[in-house]
Amino acid sequence: LRGRGIGRGGTVAALAANTPELFELHFAVPLSGGVLAALNTRLDAATIAWMLEHCEAQILFVDREFAAIAADAVARLGRGIAVIDIDDPACLHRRAAIGECDYEALVAEGDASEALPPLEDEWDAIALNYTSGTTGEPKGVVYHHRGAYLNAVSNALDWQLTRDCVYLWTLPMFHCNGWCFAWTIAAVGGMAVCLRQVRTHAIVEAIAREGVTHLCGAPTVLTMIDAAGPEVLASLKTGVSVMVAAAPPPPSVIEAIERHGWTVTHVYGLTESYGPVMINEWQAEWNGRDAEARTALKARQGVRGHMLEDVMVADPRTLQPMPADSSSVGELFLRGNNVMKGYLRQAEATEAAFRGGWLHTGDLAVRHPDGYVEIRDRAKDIIISGGENIATIEIENALHRHPSVQGAAVVARPDPLWGETPCAFVELRPGESADANALIAYCRTVLARFKVPRHVIFGPLPRSSTGKVLKYVLRETAREDAEGRSGLGPADSDGETAFDDKHDLAEIRHPPIARQF
């Protein structure tokens, strides 16, 4: 890389699945003085081109599965960029090579005797991670060496990792640099098992073959493992530790996984914090609670990780802390050396994110008397119905407790009388056939009446490549449904309709590059 002009601050981009090459780039690029920009493999060519231009990438590593879209993106740049092919033997959909050479040929160009330059400043950028860009242009989140080091160490401490760990890459390395686990696993001397396709069979086969001890991901990963069935689960080793973020998995999935002797730990973080910086550290006295209480406790985001300086739930206007009474809702704020350096070339957005000396997460939370934090909702996801605030997470948690529900997401649906009402999008477990009436009736038994969904739409939930539900897609669907112009077909008398999962993160479009600058 240095021989090809990469030095301090030079950006090297990569468009690749979870491969050994992308793992190695997490070390090669920083050691050259450069900045690694691992790009989401499900983005469209226009967005990839925008990112390459925005970060001024000098080199692009391309997994041959994504060669066609990479070639399209490079053609849109209007400038030259060196392209290096990654030819992974495990790739089942290999496209024609587009690079000037492949990865191994580039490695052969190196001189092992050349001394590596020392790191001049631990605050130098080490990586660049783009937010999903669901509204407007994406933000380039800049990570520094110090923060990456601290979060890598925090991961090892949180999980008490040793050289005996066998880590399965069910989490994309392009997502927050895989929550810094590339650096963590190497630091403890563990084994990294790369996984190209996060599918039930591939996950289960890798766990059995490699003796996996740890894995991370969105709740959908646990759902995939659970889908293998009890007999397959029983054949796998016990004692596997799983770290999940975002919304907690459905209680039935957690129970099935833990019944097999696995441990599920809920964590919290965001792109701007290098991945997880809070952990729901399980307390021994909670083991005596009933199943419902344990599930509620496991859904908490927990306490700060080892390397985060502080966590605060406060009034977003005054930054005054809210009482730790389990009911006073405020915004969640983070502070420490393992939060981002800022947004690349977006000074105003950076200043707003750090107003008052804290990172504003945009998540609404409460703090319990024991100090544990629990997210109630994203500020933008709150439903205001007849003047009352409704947390979508509360409704989603209720739906997840129904035995027929595999996944659920709730958004606001415009209503001429109430302003907004809850609209639930539901995935049923295989073989189940609950209808809208049954789910609404169930919600009436566990929720206040004004919080009960007025409409239920069945079908697969649109998700990003990291398993996060794309709520902006659901909000648009709910709005179109309310206006009677959704392509989903009219709702029946129960408010039930079919949901066509035609949306994908790859469909995100942005204005041409010329209009962005």
Supply the CATH number for residue 89's domain: 3.40.50.980
* pLDDT confidence bin for 101, thresholds 50/70/90: very high
CA dihedral angle for residue 173, residue 176, residue 179, residue 185, rounded to 10 degrees? 50
Domain stop point among 68, 99, 120: 120
The total number of structural domains that make up the chain? 3
The answer to whether residues 218 and 300 belong to one domain is yes
Q: For the domain that residue 424 is a member of, what is the CATH number? A: 3.30.300.30
pLDDT above 80 (res 234): yes
* pLDDT confidence bin for 42, thresholds 50/70/90: confident
CA dihedral angle for residue 379, residue 383, residue 384, residue 389, rounded to 10 degrees? -70
Report yes or no on 13 lying in a domain.
yes
Report yes or no on 315 lying in a domain.
no
pLDDT above 90 (res 365): yes
The answer to whether residues 105 and 232 belong to one domain is no
Residue 316's contacts (CB-CB under 8 Å, 6 or more residues apart) are 330, 331, 360, 379
- What's the whole-number mean pLDDT along residues 436-442? 95
pLDDT above 90 (res 246): no
User: Could you give the CA distance from residue 273 to residue 275 in angstroms, rounded to a whole number?
Assistant: 5
CA dihedral angle for residue 269, residue 270, residue 272, residue 278, rounded to 10 degrees? 0
**Residue 165, domain extent:** 150-310+328-362
- What's the whole-number mean pLDDT along residues 57-83? 97
The answer to whether residues 396 and 334 belong to one domain is no
Look at strands 82-86 and 263-270 and give their pairing.
unpaired
User: Could you give the CA distance from residue 3 to residue 207 in angstroms, rounded to a whole number?
Assistant: 39
- What's the whole-number mean pLDDT along residues 14-34? 97
> From residue 83, how far is each of 21, 53, 99 by CA, in Å?
14, 14, 5
The answer to whether residues 419 and 493 belong to one domain is yes
The answer to whether residues 56 and 164 belong to one domain is no
Query: In this predicted structure, what is the pLDDT of residue 302?
Result: 95
92 or 122: which carries more pLDDT confidence?
122
The answer to whether residues 43 and 91 belong to one domain is yes
Query: In this predicted structure, what is the pLDDT of residue 511?
Result: 27
User: Could you give the CA distance from residue 393 to residue 409 in angstroms, rounded to a whole number?
Assistant: 8
- What's the whole-number mean pLDDT along residues 110-121? 88
pLDDT above 70 (res 318): yes
pLDDT above 50 (res 500): no
The answer to whether residues 170 and 115 belong to one domain is no
The answer to whether residues 175 and 211 belong to one domain is yes
User: Could you give the CA distance from residue 404 to residue 456 in angstroms, rounded to a whole number?
Assistant: 14
Give yes or no for a contact between 350 and 342, defined as CB atoms under 8 angstroms apart: yes
Report yes or no on 446 lying in a domain.
yes
Report yes or no on 471 lying in a domain.
yes
* pLDDT tens digits for range 140-152: 999 999 999 999 9
Give yes or no for a contact between 398 and 428, defined as CB atoms under 8 angstroms apart: no
The answer to whether residues 272 and 231 belong to one domain is yes
Report yes or no on 442 lying in a domain.
yes
The answer to whether residues 87 and 169 belong to one domain is no
The answer to whether residues 303 and 189 belong to one domain is yes
The answer to whether residues 19 and 79 belong to one domain is yes
pLDDT above 80 (res 507): no
